[in-house]
Structure 1
């Protein structure tokens, strides 16, 4: 960790030490560029940081991982950085839909789910076969996605033609289904296959037809993974190690005040740390942070077109959430849980109400991190993480006061409302699963949309960014090149979608844009690798990248440290 910046100028400054910022930092470090990462929190990680309480480690961000298998985007980018990368394991039991009258589990063999649905709905056999067949067709082209992650800003005209053909092959199985979204749209889309409303209930909380098909498609190709042992934060530990291996700087507790401009060209950043203001110059800046904050707070008001700012304000974002982290006095499996995510849905409500933020109606996801990874909890103990959609304006902004600068000031009412919300969610879990959960809770932590906003500044506390979809595409919400020269977007705001794969994909593209300007040979080699034309070893043999000794050693979790100390005493 750098207390202050070691230099007054770098090749690149990166705002934000989340998974996107740190991936870009590691890639550019390996490319031989000088990098400074500026992070307002006292640690790296963003949504993957997790937290520690009483020898429990809470991996608070991950439902499951995609694109971390052998051919996935995350694996391909991380493999390029180093062979010592954390390695996720396959997830077998993926998703359990526990509705009032439905109870089905999607596993790594989706044929089992298909057989169960046919058994329960024999009159819809043909449609169920057709539906799973459509998912399988999507699965067959999914490898093309990992070889088609370069952004248009990184391509020549010839590249755009070549990659356009790949993209066409990838989206061809999707085209028929892409238009079915919303309450009526999903119903019409499912009616293409089967019309029984009881069968439709399995997908009662999905907002578009592709969201119904994709999970099964991913299951067919084994594209579900568990976080690596130690939790998703070990990705951050590793990327931090790589960045610091090349003697580059990560400055924590540093709040960016403004983008440094000369003749409206980005020349670095100005940040405050411990009451002191620092100016750091750079050839380019990657903003792996909230885009609205960047445009509204860090740049002069007249530098960004108002139409772009208006589009961002009206963009369709992923909701925020209430995340409840539970420490249990027994192993999670003792309460009947297995490794899959459990989804609890209310009956007889609209699709929108499943995502409404009403604690009595919103869909609930339950994940058993310590069952999946025993290193996360002390021996004989367990953890559960519970998510439900929530919005920042719930009960007058969760009882917060809003100050003159737009910040949310937490009050006694805030903590009371959080507790009330969490208790409603826990009541629903106990009722639906017939489990005595509360008597086993040692302590719990509740994060609200206010919490997520404080850590990210994302509008409304959105936990991922802008949703894929026609409206956001037409409004050109996703973009890498900003209206300010040498200022590049990274992270979830550079591309549509959410989760680790989009963050890593965006980081790789932001790094490519930098390399295209600053280190041509490295750009050419990494672009060829991204397009699947050469492997990572061939790319490194070009001499365009610095050597790396694969020296990362994973730190023990708090529970592992506790066990080691106890063994030494014995």
Structure 2
């Protein structure tokens, strides 16, 4: 094998730093709103409030803005940490594409992946997810020729969930006293399978367990196996990618880089290295934040994109969280899965190495929950999910920015509890035992890569593994969770997961409000801005969003092969 930099050596800091470094002397009050966290939810809310004339301050504790949309470079390589692919941004004018165009002023460009955007492996068998509904169905019919009726009904239900989302979203905007009336409307309007598990819904369509597993193979995108995960979020993800996967040209960091000017347009700013210690209250009203350096920043609105556990168990004073009932609410939801990610660098191009623009999902077999349980009980058991992503193959600008290089990412489950004994140790200095455990997992994950791409053995120049402690350190998620809250059916019945809180002046944004993923968190950011601005001004802003995006001149690469134009 080519020489790899040992994981025990602390790597040099990244140069990909988006946002302005925080200094108390750089503040320019007064601000109309403060946003805690610069993930896509927080940036979307900030940018939309800025478009409505508000001066917004975004505070990010990390060294770079973007949350899980950020990228980092090291040793001459660059990797994304969360944007492995995005759907609904092709030629067809979806809300997601229009919103991205507005937020970035048309500067964010998208490159299509291969016609097969996801390849699901169940042991030695594989099943392709192809762009476009008919291509999607025909691909499965090649393997399951007698299941056309089930497949068409499946996509019909996926579409029905999409049509139900405006009503689900409206519930988060209307006052709680509208609840009884909305419950009646939902009872008659929403499909009966909306709050079932993915497996329950698929089992109603077919008794072929292999087909069920293949259709549910994207469960890693929301972190819950089909027997416990919500069909609603599963359907939203299937619908999101149904017309193909795309990748931001220039890498994941382009997302924050192109959105921040929208925030700055009304005098706002995005600061990094800006750790918020607590939310300031005047009675039962949020009036600002206190920073880790003791600086107090006042504003009539505080918007937290830090997640509900961080907001109500860490940032909000305990007495206020208890009095308002949020401490009790937190017992009804759970943090999502934690993960490992192996970042790999190679000194040849993706083309020279034969790397695809297709994601690989590797499973030991169709018994997802059984395999996960075996792994939780025995860390040396076969890893129940291994995800392979090839960012340098997806980004057409990569070879220009990093000539003669390629990158790969391997993601797998990694329970936080397995690493908790080192949680109090500083990043980069957690000791020999921690580094030895990381190296063991790195080698195991590399073997999965070589199994499917044997030509890569001996080609690895550099690799490093992130653990749940990395996520805790860089993203401030207490258990290293990557999808915010678990996406089981009960989570979507929690009426308190809405932008407006019971504390005046305090709002929530990000993936905990709607659903995980870049699109889910971005839509949550839009909903939060609507909630703050009110019905009339919110509607006026949305008209501006979609009018501006429609008129933006965006030169895009060709649509993904097999993709189909459609209406929003």
TM-score bin, normalised by smaller chain:
0.7 to 0.9
What are the equivalent positions in structure 2 for 1:29-40 lying under 5 Å apart? 29-40=50-61
**2:369 equivalent to 1:351:** yes
For residue 458 of structure 2, give the secondary structure of its aligned residue in structure 1: helix
What are the equivalent positions in structure 2 for 1:394-473 lying under 5 Å apart? 394=418, 396-397=419-420, 399-402=421-424, 410-431=430-451, 433=452, 435-473=454-492
What are the equivalent positions in structure 2 for 1:118-133 lying under 5 Å apart? 118-122=141-145, 125=146, 128-133=147-152
What is the Cα deviation at residue 361 of structure 1? 2.3
Taking the aligned partners of 1:263 and 1:444, their CA distance within structure 2 comes to: 51
> Residue 536 of structure 1: which of 547, 562, 565 is its match?
547
Judge conservation of contact 2:335–2:486 (CA < 8 Å) in 1. Answer: yes
Decide which moves more: 139-148 or 21-30. 139-148
Judge conservation of contact 1:11–1:283 (CA < 8 Å) in 2. Answer: yes
For residue 61 of structure 1, give the secondary structure of its aligned residue in structure 2: coil
What is the Cα deviation at residue 313 of structure 1? 4.3
Taking the aligned partners of 2:54 and 2:193, their CA distance within structure 1 comes to: 45
What are the equivalent positions in structure 2 for 1:89-100 lying under 5 Å apart? 89-91=111-113, 92-100=115-123
- Tell me the alpha carbon deviations over residues 444-473 of structure 1, each in whole angstroms, 9 at most, x when there is no partner: 121111111112222411112123332213
**2:53 equivalent to 1:41:** no
What are the equivalent positions in structure 2 for 1:320-331 lying under 5 Å apart? 320-331=338-349
Taking the aligned partners of 2:362 and 2:368, their CA distance within structure 1 comes to: 15
Q: 1:539 to 1:486 in 2, by over 3 A?
A: farther
> Residue 88 of structure 1: which of 73, 88, 110 is its match?
110
For residue 512 of structure 1, give the secondary structure of its aligned residue in structure 2: helix
Q: 1:113 to 1:261 in 2, by over 3 A?
A: closer
> Residue 282 of structure 1: which of 299, 305, 308 is its match?
299
What are the equivalent positions in structure 2 for 1:161-240 lying under 5 Å apart? 171-172=190-191, 175-176=192-193, 178-181=195-198, 186=199, 189-202=201-214, 206=219, 207-208=225-226, 210=231, 217-218=239-240, 220=242, 222=243, 224-240=244-260
Taking the aligned partners of 2:235 and 2:538, their CA distance within structure 1 comes to: 36
Q: 1:546 is matched with which residue?
A: none
**2:386 equivalent to 1:371:** no
Q: 2:513 is matched with which residue?
A: 494
Taking the aligned partners of 2:477 and 2:496, their CA distance within structure 1 comes to: 14
What is the Cα deviation at residue 104 of structure 1? 2.0
- Tell me the alpha carbon deviations over residues 219-254 of structure 1, each in whole angstroms, 9 at most, x when there is no partner: 55x1x3312201222110011122223331222212
Q: 1:62 is matched with which residue?
A: 83
Taking the aligned partners of 1:477 and 1:389, their CA distance within structure 2 comes to: 29
What is the Cα deviation at residue 303 of structure 1? 1.1
Tell me how many residue pairs correspond in the alignment.
Answer: 515
**2:265 equivalent to 1:248:** no
Judge conservation of contact 2:499–2:528 (CA < 8 Å) in 1. Answer: yes
Taking the aligned partners of 1:157 and 1:212, their CA distance within structure 2 comes to: 27
Scaled by the length of structure 2, the TM-score of the pair is 0.80
Decide which moves more: 407-416 or 384-393. 407-416
What is the Cα deviation at residue 341 of structure 1? 0.5
Higher relative contact order (CA 8 A, sep 6+): 2
Taking the aligned partners of 1:106 and 1:34, their CA distance within structure 2 comes to: 44
Q: 1:164 to 1:295 in 2, by over 3 A?
A: closer
Q: 2:48 is matched with which residue?
A: 27
Decide which moves more: 344-353 or 160-169. 160-169
- Tell me the alpha carbon deviations over residues 440-499 of structure 1, each in whole angstroms, 9 at most, x when there is no partner: 11101211111111122224111121233322134446222223210101112222x211
Q: 2:359 is matched with which residue?
A: 341
Scaled by the length of structure 1, the TM-score of the pair is 0.79
Judge conservation of contact 1:481–1:488 (CA < 8 Å) in 2. Answer: yes
Taking the aligned partners of 1:212 and 1:464, their CA distance within structure 2 comes to: 13
Taking the aligned partners of 2:314 and 2:392, their CA distance within structure 1 comes to: 40
Judge conservation of contact 1:114–1:132 (CA < 8 Å) in 2. Answer: yes
For residue 439 of structure 1, give the secondary structure of its aligned residue in structure 2: coil
Judge conservation of contact 1:142–1:170 (CA < 8 Å) in 2. Answer: no
Decide which moves more: 303-312 or 201-210. 201-210
